[in-house]
Structure 1
């Protein structure tokens, strides 16, 4: 199972929207996808229609060892897409995990102990921080996908994230690689978006996906209906962009692991 952390410590960059819709697009291609909601806000769970009643077991229980992966997985309404939901208890997990042995490897250990052959790809939706939850995701992941809002402040946050990735790679997970940077909330009418777009490509080159995700009201409306935008309105510009991004992502997946899956 290929594990991809969707991470950016800056909030409001379209991280969860990216995780939900990429997971849906990948599932539509026939891949069996697992989405792990590691954000205490639980937005990925809500966006896939998983109400509080279905979150009795969550990523909190998985990290604290109170339940196995098989016990916390919930089927979504999207065929071939399962989710490990999150609930507010996760907000206290970073403090609780301090007393656990190998607290930075809790998610990795839980995945290693599970029957992960059930899925081909695992996307981990990280919280908007560089705390213990995100570090757990980076250690468990094979690669990281970074949604980056097309604004200058986002560039500062990106440098911090890349430094954290490098530290995790050196100390814990030498296999961790950057799968790509996806520009989100791109407004073609705004000159600033174009300038940021050019700067990011000049700095990072081919690491940046060619597809950019536009600002689109349908992407914002879909979570309130508990379904991904790709199902809510598959013809809107945002959905079409995520479909194109999923194609790019699949082309970058490690060939040997994809064939093994």
Structure 2
């Protein structure tokens, strides 16, 4: 399973989600690879900041040939997570084409919802060449008990063929604190709400991919 975490808008939490998904899958016993396809190299920087033994390898592949180069590498892993680049269409297209499933993080913000159209457009373009490609929204950094936090799912309903996952990630300090130590939340606070949220997201993605395969 190759999961691309992508959004053409920057600052939506792609790297945080990619790292924590990879760690959760690795902790469950799967062979996991994290691909940093963003020229900023945030996932690589996170890996470099880490003192603990790595849970999974992180490699940099921020290049338009990603979809051609990755399959030979991916065959040695059960789960591959791609941390995609914002605003760079040729890199975004390559990451989408390399994926089995594209996860689109969206924050409860009008700007994020408006920008989601660009990412959905790229995915629909890729589906012309890869009809089995699946995609889904995940609401990230949701703030509980706010009107926009409640309404973001309804706003995303305009994208009729892109489901919004029930697994939602909330605004939590532990995501930033663990990243600063080169850790995932499942390592820093394994019993936290954040760890449970990521676990729920990983199960939702596995279920979505299994439905695709069926």
Q: Give the alignment's TM-score, normalised by structure 2.
A: 0.88
SS in 2 for 1:253: helix
Q: How does 1:133-152 map to 2 (within 5 A)?
A: 133-152=91-110
Match of 1:37 in 2: 36
Report if aligned partners of 2:33, 2:81 keep a CA contact under 8 Å in 1: yes
- Report the Cα distance in structure 2 between the residues aligned to 1:204 and 1:229, rounded to whole angstroms: 33
- Report the Cα distance in structure 1 between the residues aligned to 2:212 and 2:166, rounded to whole angstroms: 24
Q: Decide which of 45, 48, 51 is 1:50's aligned counterpart.
A: 48
Cα offset, 1:122, TM superposition: 0.9
- Report the Cα distance in structure 2 between the residues aligned to 1:116 and 1:189, rounded to whole angstroms: 41
Match of 1:110 in 2: 69
- Give the 3 Å change call, closer, same or farther, for CA 250–40 of structure 1 in structure 2: same
- Report the Cα distance in structure 2 between the residues aligned to 1:163 and 1:128, rounded to whole angstroms: 14
Alignment deviations for residues 200-237 of structure 1 (CA, whole Å, 9 cap, x no partner): 25755881111110000111111111111221122332
Match of 1:127 in 2: 85
Report if aligned partners of 1:214, 1:237 keep a CA contact under 8 Å in 2: no
Q: Indicate yes or no: 2:200 matched with 1:241.
A: no
> Unmatched 5+ residue regions in structure 2?
none
- Give the 3 Å change call, closer, same or farther, for CA 18–204 of structure 1 in structure 2: farther
Report if aligned partners of 2:74, 2:80 keep a CA contact under 8 Å in 1: no
Match of 2:121 in 1: 163
- Report the Cα distance in structure 2 between the residues aligned to 1:7 and 1:206, rounded to whole angstroms: 14
Cα offset, 1:240, TM superposition: 1.6
Q: Indicate yes or no: 2:42 matched with 1:83.
A: no
Give the number of the structure whose alpha-carbon radius of gyration is greater: 1
Report if aligned partners of 2:132, 2:212 keep a CA contact under 8 Å in 1: no
Higher percent of residues as helix: 1
Moved >6 Å (runs of 4+): 255-258
> Unmatched 5+ residue regions in structure 1?
55-75, 94-103
Match of 1:231 in 2: 187
Match of 1:177 in 2: 134
Query: Aligned residue pairs: how many?
Result: 213
